[in-house]
Chains A and B, each alone.
Chain A
Amino acid sequence: DSGVTQTPKHLITATGQRVTLRCSPRSGDLSVYWYQQSLDQGLQFLIQYYNGEERAKGNILERFSAQQFPDLHSELNLSSLELGDSALYFCASSVVSGQRTVGAGYTFGSGTRLTVV
């Protein structure tokens, strides 16, 4: 157990629907990162939150949004789902709050496998 919890582990939904993926970071970690992993695109960075505020955006579609709550858990909302959104969605967390913690890297959750049918 990495300490990063993602729910649900599997999700099957129909096109056009909306889903919410949840991530609880490792205790003490302030940053949360969302990644999408698919066979054709590989590991794609979507968005980062730090202590409740958005810090960086990657290849995130306008149909997707995220937020980080005061208790530091994060949710990734995917709407108007298309077949091409089927992928593994990973959450990672990091403690980095100063230079001495930079070498910690990320801790990844086990992912949510989304299948859009």
Chain B
Amino acid sequence: AQSVTQLGSHVSVSEGALVLLRCNYSSSVPPYLFWYVQYPNQGLQLLLKYTSAATLVKGINGFEAEFKKSETSFHLTKPSAHMSDAAEYFCAVSDSRGGSNYKLTFGKGTLLTVNP
């Protein structure tokens, strides 16, 4: 079974400050990991994903995440927050085996607020 824990349901940063959203996973098989972003009144959009290639993954809008197996973490970072980054962010895990039972398990989400 897999699970995801997002530490902090709400993170507030100032514009220009570092963004750090934390995600820890639990998986009995090698995981694939994803970050999704949801802007108000919209669906979830894929931000980036780790699929066992490079451990440092770059995504859209300047975000990146690092897979650390020893820490079972996949934290999302951005060096300088922009007002447009205000949204809810979801971390998700799947196993790497695929098949018709393929399923993503999502964390509870972290709401990012960016203050001017």
Contacts and interface: CB of A to CB of B under 8 A. Distances in A.
Interface of A: 2, 4, 30-31, 33, 42-43, 45, 48, 50-51, 55-56, 90, 92, 94, 96-103, 105-111, 113
Contact of A55 (B34, B46, B100): B100
Nearest to B34: A105
Interface of B: 32, 34, 36, 41-46, 49, 51, 90, 92, 94-104, 106, 108-109
Q: What is the interface of chain B mostly: helix, strand, loop, or mixed?
A: loop
A103 B45 contact: no
Contact of A103 (B51, B103, B106): B51
A105 B94 contact: yes
A101 to B, nearest CB: 6
Given A42-B109, A105-B49, A109-B43, A56 B101 contact: yes
B41 to A, nearest CB: 8
Given A42-B109, A96-B98, A96-B102, A108 B44 contact: yes
A2 B42 CA distance: 11
Contacts of B109: 42-43
Given A96-B102, A109-B43, A102 B90 contact: no
Contacts of B36: 108
